[in-house]
Amino acid sequence: MITQKKLEIYSSFHGDIDGWCRMTLNIDSFSGMKREDWYLIDNLLQELSMIKKGIVSKEYEKKIWEELR
């Protein structure tokens, strides 16, 4: 699950997973953030960008918004 804290961690590293990995000894225990969370945030941001650009179908857009809820 994506939390506000995980979004803050992602933002503090400007989406740079390599930087995040280098700064943590055990990356899966750093404030509960896991690689899977990082990839999920990456994917959602990419999908939101595509929605903003209007390059996805209405059905796909609806699916993304449902996932975010």
Q: Where are the domains of the chain?
A: 4-68
Residue-level pLDDT at 26: 59
Rounded distance, CA 33 to CA 38, Å? 7
Predicted TM-score (pTM) of the model is 0.81
**pLDDT value of residue 30:** 56
Here the tokens at position 30 are: 């750093």
Nearest-angstrom CA–CA distance, 4 and 57: 28
- Tens-place pLDDT, residues 9-68: 999 999 999 988 888 765 555 568 888 999 999 999 999 999 999 999 999 999 999 988
What are the tokens at 18? Answer: 């390599």
Distances (CA, A) of 31 to 7, 21, 27, 28: 11, 13, 9, 8
Per-residue pLDDT, 66: 93
